[in-house]
Amino acid sequence: MDDNNIIKFVATKWIPHGTLLSLIWSYSQDDYLIPEPFIWYCFKVFVEVALVCWNGHAGRGLQAGWDRIVNLDIKPDNIFIDVNDTTEPMLWARQYPHPKVGDFGMAYFTEQGRDERGHSNFYRDRVNLPDFREWGTPGHMAPECLGRNVGSLQAIWHITPARAPETVKRLNTELMPPLPGATTDYTAVNSWTMVWEIGMVMWNMLSGNHLGGGGQDREKKLVTDFSSPTRDYPPRGVGREWADFRPAYSGRLVELAYQCLAFHPADRIDLEDLWDEVLAGCQDITNVYGANQQNAPPLGPNPVSHVADKYPVGENVLNDVPTRY
């Protein structure tokens, strides 16, 4: 299987309820808020997947023999909505469709400082960085992934001509290669890159903005372009009028999402610490519902509207509209 002439394909199970992108879009069209418990559930799943990529298990410390992986394309388009997981330890989360991270086409064996130039497999013949620069999806790329020239920022990331020079200036002055003897290179992609990507997905869910800029809707305004400290974070608001996140959502959830989105990797919450914080947040939800975790509202969790299985096996039906509650 290490033969460079072999193309590997992974056959995955059918996931019937579309993507997180479509779910966010549906809620935004109706000016509805996604229920906070479901956002915490998604947060837990995303961080768990990132931690398994990084450490080989959902916990602290590198598992013996594990080769670290960085996923450079965590975004709502690549998160799929499956049927509810009846084995989920958090009983309240069994009420919800199960989010699953997919499309690992831009997940790589790498970490900061790794130089694999000359590797026997061509797909690992690279050095971190600069070989991962400009890899990802516009609007969902952490600062360390951006190109360092005005032309690429305008052409690839669609930063406006007026701001692109300032973005390059900040990248070159605040995200610099390490000094001789330093052990950490913050210009490289690393676990901190996945933290930023997860933070942006959380912002998408909180705000109802399903784009983040770029992608197929390039005419849309980027929510952040790093041209100045005031442009580092997306707006703290929801809906078309950017109404404040608070009090619609808890401070714990909002602030934790924004801790992921700092411009400099050193200022972001560490991936392992993020895992602990997310578990604590999920425990808060468990405490709120208590014995009512699997009950219907108002005592139990609010449901989530999602697209029904469009092609249910063995049934002569076509479901192509969201389920409404």
Confidence at residue 121, expressed as pLDDT on a 0 to 100 scale: 80
Is residue 67 within 8 A of residue 89, CB to CB? The reply is no
DSSP state of 180: T
Confidence at residue 170, expressed as pLDDT on a 0 to 100 scale: 95
Mean residue pLDDT of the chain comes to 88
Q: Given pLDDT bands bounded at 50, 70 and 90, which one contains residue 52?
A: very high
Is residue 195 within 8 A of residue 184, CB to CB? The reply is no
Q: Given pLDDT bands bounded at 50, 70 and 90, which one contains residue 31?
A: confident
Per-residue pLDDT reduced to its tens digit, 95-147: 999 999 999 989 999 999 887 888 888 778 788 877 888 888 888 999 999 98
Residue 108 CB partners (closer than 8 Å, separation 6+): 69, 70, 72, 132
Confidence at residue 63, expressed as pLDDT on a 0 to 100 scale: 97
Per-residue pLDDT reduced to its tens digit, 227-255: 999 999 998 887 666 678 988 999 999 99
Q: What is the CATH number of domain 20-292?
A: 1.10.510.10
Written as one letter, the residue type at 50 is A
Residue 21 has phi, psi (to 5 degrees) of: -55, -50
135 vs 132: CA distance, rounded Å: 6
The number of CA neighbours under 13 Å toward the Cβ of 13 is 9
Confidence at residue 315, expressed as pLDDT on a 0 to 100 scale: 66
Alpha helices in the chain (DSSP H): 20-29, 36-55, 150-155, 164-174, 191-207, 251-259, 271-289
Q: Structural domain boundaries of the chain?
A: 20-292
Confidence at residue 239, expressed as pLDDT on a 0 to 100 scale: 65
Residue 325 has pLDDT above 60, yes or no: no
217 vs 123: CA distance, rounded Å: 30
Cα 35-37-43 angle, rounded to 5 deg: 110
Confidence at residue 113, expressed as pLDDT on a 0 to 100 scale: 83
Q: Given pLDDT bands bounded at 50, 70 and 90, which one contains residue 50?
A: very high
The number of CA neighbours under 13 Å toward the Cβ of 206 is 29
Confidence at residue 58, expressed as pLDDT on a 0 to 100 scale: 97
Per-residue pLDDT reduced to its tens digit, 266-298: 999 999 999 999 999 999 999 999 999 999 998
| Rounded mean pLDDT, 210-221 | 51
4 vs 169: CA distance, rounded Å: 40
Confidence at residue 3, expressed as pLDDT on a 0 to 100 scale: 64
Q: Largest alpha-carbon pair distance within the chain? A: 67
Per-residue pLDDT reduced to its tens digit, 15-30: 888 999 999 988 988 8
